[in-house]
């Protein structure tokens, strides 16, 4: 469990989510413009979220077509739709 928590903290920090987002402004000041146009906008968030999803999917094996699996997909779908509407 402690390894999962530490890997999750690393993935969240890589994605730059709250409260581990303090490195992004420092990187924006130091890095060249083309690098910063790509890095925080898509690449770092994508890699951090991908790592987090791979860890969670490997750690929590869900039975296909189970009630929990379907519930998580429904919650995820509503979250995506709400985020798109707020953007």
Q: Which domain holds residue 42?
A: 2-86
- pLDDT value of residue 42: 66
* Overall pTM > 0.85: no
Residue 36's contacts (CB-CB under 8 Å, 6 or more residues apart) are: 27, 28
The residue whose two tokens read 């992004």 is 24
pLDDT digits (tens, 9 = 90+) for 25-43: 777 777 777 777 766 666 6
Count: domains in the chain: 1
The DSSP H or E segment spanning 25 is helix 23-30
Mean pLDDT value of segment 39-58? 72
Q: What's the mean pLDDT when you consider all of the chain? A: 76
């Amino acid at each position: 469990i402690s390894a999962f928590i530490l890997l999750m903290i690393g993935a969240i920090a890589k994605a730059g989510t709250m409260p581990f987002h303090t490195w992004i402004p420092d990187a924006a000041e130091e890095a060249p413009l083309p690098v910063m146009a790509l890095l925080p906008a898509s690449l770092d968030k994508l890699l951090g979220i991908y790592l987090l999803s791979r860890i969670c999917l490997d750690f929590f094996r869900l039975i296909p077509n189970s009630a929990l699996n379907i519930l998580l997909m429904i919650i995820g779908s509503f979250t995506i739709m709400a985020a798109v509407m707020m953007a």
